[in-house]
A and B are shown apart, each in its own frame.
Chain A
Amino acid sequence: MRRYHPLTVVKHLVLCLLSLAFAGPFVWVIATSLKASSEFFSPNFLPMDGLQWENYTQAFVTYGLAHNYFNSLTVTVAAVGLGLAIALLAAYGMFRLRFRFRNTVFVALVVVMMMPPQLTLISQFLLFQKSGILYSPLALILPYTLGVLPLSVFILRSFFKELPIDLDHAARMDGATDLQIVRLVLLPLSVPVLATAGILTFIQTWNEFLLASIFVRSDWATIPVAVANINNIATQDGNQPMKFAAVVLSFLPLFVLFLFLQRFFVKGLASGGVKG
């Protein structure tokens, strides 16, 4: 029989308990979301009166979460798609050409990333109001698109550094314009890194709360804001487990996405994390 170092045993014990503690809230929320209203205050951990799937249909249909899914998807897909396109063009300009102001522009981008949202919140509100896009999905899409840029540019930067510049030059000799170099050579090669950047920024955008709670009304409310609203309403209505169901519905799609695309996360965080 193999003997284990006592430290190894302790390590496994701690990891095991800690992961239980981390998963615990999720499990508990899911369990509670399937309880009947009447059972909410009982000390049982698990639902005993049968699984109340109606809580989910109620949240999804009666409280209109379906519509909020549509909102979130529209806003997020638009912002991520637009953001990636703009980031690819910008990354070409900065990192594939001999661009003299590369560092200046890059530092500006980093500072924009550090800006607290409160700094621009009120001014954006007023400017959007004046230009008439306040309360339209555009009021979210524009700032979210900006939010996609920093991480995407970081990830493209480390990818472009590895990619031989002679590829661009070969295409140029073959008669390609700058735009054709991006479209026919760099874009197809960047698909994996763009996927990584896309997934990471998709989640960041999907989860945004502050702007979503101010720049649009309930007709364009996204999932986090809608769930927060249901949270308030359900407490008044006395249907407690239903708000747990709404919470589960909010994180379920992201978990599914993560389970299927896990390798992109690991790679993306690694390449976005390595500076230099």
Chain B
Amino acid sequence: MPKISIGISAETRTGWRFLSPAILLVLAIAIIPALYTLGMSFYSWNGLSAKWTFVGLQNYRDMLGDKTLMQAIRNTAIFTLANVILKPAAALCLAYAIESVRLTWLRVTYRTIFFSTSLISAAIAAMIWSFVYEPNVGLLNRLLGSNHMWLGDRDLVLWSIFAVGFWQFLGQNALILMAGLQSVPRELYDAAEMDGARTWGMFRFVAFPHLKGFIAIVVVINIINNLKAYDLFKVMTDGGPRHASEVVATHIVKQAFEKGELGYSAAMSYALLLVTLVLVVIYLWLTEFRKEEA
């Protein structure tokens, strides 16, 4: 029923009261620092001296001439795109495969193994894989009998790190999609079977349309997480060798804490937020748009 109310109702006032702890926390820990960062982005400041020099949009203009940043953006874009396309696609196959396993104990075992990797800290995952990639005693080279520099090779390093993220969160992506598969009403499969659909037809016409919302969630989670991805890169390579695995997240922290370019670093973090927002909005718009068409 539509509600027309004039002025602020008693319930809305009570609502504000109950929201106030959350709002206070968001203001103090997120909004005010974010605004402080925004202010900082118009200044040149080294973090130590008391001298703030107003430079207007100079920090934002500087980004265009920053070769390392361009490299970092390129790497972030490749990394995010791979994560947004390859990971959900693989997770969908995995989810469908696991869900179609008939034996309950086997299904639960698979689910447990694949999901367990997402339980650990990204920093710890990075350490484990640093050991695995270690050229001399690492597991991978021992198994392959090779001596690749998995993290030292400029052409290889980005994909080596991608593999870690893939290993860590494939199971989590798949688990969300499995929840989606379980929410498909049994009758739909029965109806499709009556209509003569085979395995592929079931997937294409029954499961997939139902899963669209869940796939959207997975993709959005991946966009957000991968643009933020810092721990993996920090622990495994810290952007090396020679910026071959530099991403925007590591570049921002380095500019702030190593170079003391706090204003510039602030400007870059805003650019990153903007890119995140734009990507998520574009993606959601695309999927909503398609939904309306269908």
Contacts of B194 in A (CB 8 A): none
Q: A124-B29, A149-B22 are in contact. Are A207 and B122 (CB under 8 A)?
A: yes
Would you give 5 A-B contacts (Cβ < 8 Å), ordered by A? A92-B18, A119-B33, A122-B37, A227-B124, A269-B175
Q: Which residues of A contact B262 (CB under 8 A)?
A: 122
> Would you call B33 and A124 a contact (CB within 8 A)?
yes
CB of B12 within 8 A of CB of A122, answer no
Assuming the A-B contacts A22-B171, A118-B269, A142-B29, are A247 and B124 also in contact, with contact meaning beta carbons closer than 8 angstroms in the complex? yes
Asked if A55 lies at the interface with its beta carbon under 8 angstroms from chain B, I say no
A14 lies within 8 A of B22 (CB): no
- Confirm or deny: A3 has a beta carbon within 8 angstroms of a beta carbon on chain B: no
One of A46-54, A63-71, A96-104, A187-195 contacting the partner: A96-104
Instruction: Say how far A252's CB is from chain B's closest CB, in angstroms.
Output: 10
B252 CB within 8 Å of chain A: yes
In the complex, what distance in Å separates the CA atom of A257 from the CA atom of B23?
32
Q: Using a Cβ–Cβ cut-off of 8 Å, how many residues does chain A contribute to the interface with B?
A: 89
Q: Is the CB of B175 within 8 A of A123?
A: no
Q: Report A-chain residues with C-beta under 8 Å of the C-beta of B231.
A: 209-210
Is there contact, CB below 8 Å, between B16 and A142? no
Tell me if B79 counts as interface (CB < 8 A to partner A): no
Interface assignment of A145: CB less than 8 Å from any CB of chain B: yes
Inter-chain contact B18/A118, CB cutoff 8 Å: no
Mark A19-43 against chain B: 1 for CB-CB distance below 8 A, else 0: 1001111101100100000001101
Confirm or deny: B280 has a beta carbon within 8 angstroms of a beta carbon on chain A.
Answer: yes
Residues A90 and B19 in contact in the complex (CB < 8 Å), given A22-B167, A265-B115, A273-B176? yes
Bits for A62-103, please: 1 = Cβ < 8 Å to B, else 0.
000000000000000000000000110110111001111110
Q: Is the CB of A127 within 8 A of B22?
A: no
A87 to B127, CA, bound (A): 34
Tell me whether A119 and B270 are in contact in the complex, defined as CB-CB below 8 angstroms, given that A86-B21, A146-B25, A275-B217 are known contacts.
yes
B97 and A259 form a contact (CB under 8 A): no
B contact residues vs A (CB 8 Å cutoff): 3, 5, 8-9, 11-12, 14-19, 21-23, 25-26, 28-34, 36-37, 40, 47, 94, 97-98, 100-101, 108-117, 119-124, 127-129, 131-132, 136-137, 139, 142, 167, 170-172, 175-176, 178-180, 182-183, 199, 213-214, 217-218, 224, 227-228, 230-231, 234-235, 249, 252-253, 256-257, 262, 265-266, 268-270, 272-273, 276-277, 280
Contacts of B277 in A (CB 8 A): 111, 114
Q: Contact between A94 and B19 (Cβ–Cβ < 8 Å)? A: yes
B25 touches A149 (CB 8 A): yes
A120 with B128, Cβ < 8 A, contacts A92-B18, A114-B273 known: no
Contact B139 A24 (CB under 8 A): yes
Residue of B nearest to A89 (CB): B18
Q: Are B142 and A119 in contact (CB under 8 A)?
A: no
Whether the pair B179, A269 counts as a contact (CB closer than 8 A) is: yes
- Please measure, in the bound complex, the distance between the C-alpha atom of A59 and the C-alpha atom of B34, giving whole angstroms: 39
State the Cβ distance, A104 to closest chain B Cβ, in Å.
Answer: 11
A88 vs chain B, min Cβ distance (A): 9
Pick the contact of A29: B21, B37, B40, B128 (CB < 8 A). B128
Residues in chain A near residue B178, CB distance under 8 A: 266
Whether A273 pairs with B179 at a CB distance below 8 angstroms is yes
* Extra A-B contacts (11), CB below 8 Å, given A100-B15, A146-B25: A25-B129, A89-B21, A99-B15, A122-B47, A122-B256, A123-B36, A209-B121, A210-B231, A227-B124, A254-B120, A269-B172
Is B137 touching A123 in the complex (CB atoms < 8 A)?
Answer: no
Contacts of A231 in B (CB 8 A): 127
**Knowing A227-B127, A231-B127 touch, does A93 contact B14 (C-beta < 8 A)?**
yes
Contact B272 A118 (CB under 8 A): yes
Question: Could you tell me if A99 and B265 are in contact, using CB atoms closer than 8 angstroms?
Answer: no
Q: Are B179 and A86 in contact (CB under 8 A)?
A: no
Q: Interface readout for A105-116 with B: 1 if CB under 8 Å, 0 if not?
A: 100110111111
One digit per residue, 1 when the CB lies within 8 angstroms of any chain B CB and 0 when it does not, for chain A 214-236 equals 10000000011101100100000
- Known: A94-B19, A111-B277, A262-B112. Is A119-B139 also a contact (CB below 8 A)? no
> B22: which of A40, A87, A182, A210 is its contact (CB, 8 Å)?
A87
Q: Are A178 and B33 in contact (CB under 8 A)?
A: no
Q: How far apart sit A231 and B109, CA to CA, in the bound complex (Å)?
A: 31
Given the known interface contacts A32-B131, A118-B265, the answer about A273 and B25 at a Cβ–Cβ threshold of 8 Å is no
* CB pair A98 B22 closer than 8 Å: no
Contact call B175/A266, Cβ cutoff below 8 A: yes
Given A86-B22, A122-B37, A122-B265, are A117 and B12 neighbors across the interface (CB < 8 Å)?
A: no
Fill in one digit per residue for A193-212: 1 if any B CB lies within 8 Å of its CB, else 0. Answer: 00000000001001111100
How far, in whole Å, are A178 and B277 apart by their CA atoms in the complex?
36
- A119 touching B18 in the complex, CB below 8 Å, given contacts A111-B277, A262-B112, A273-B179: no
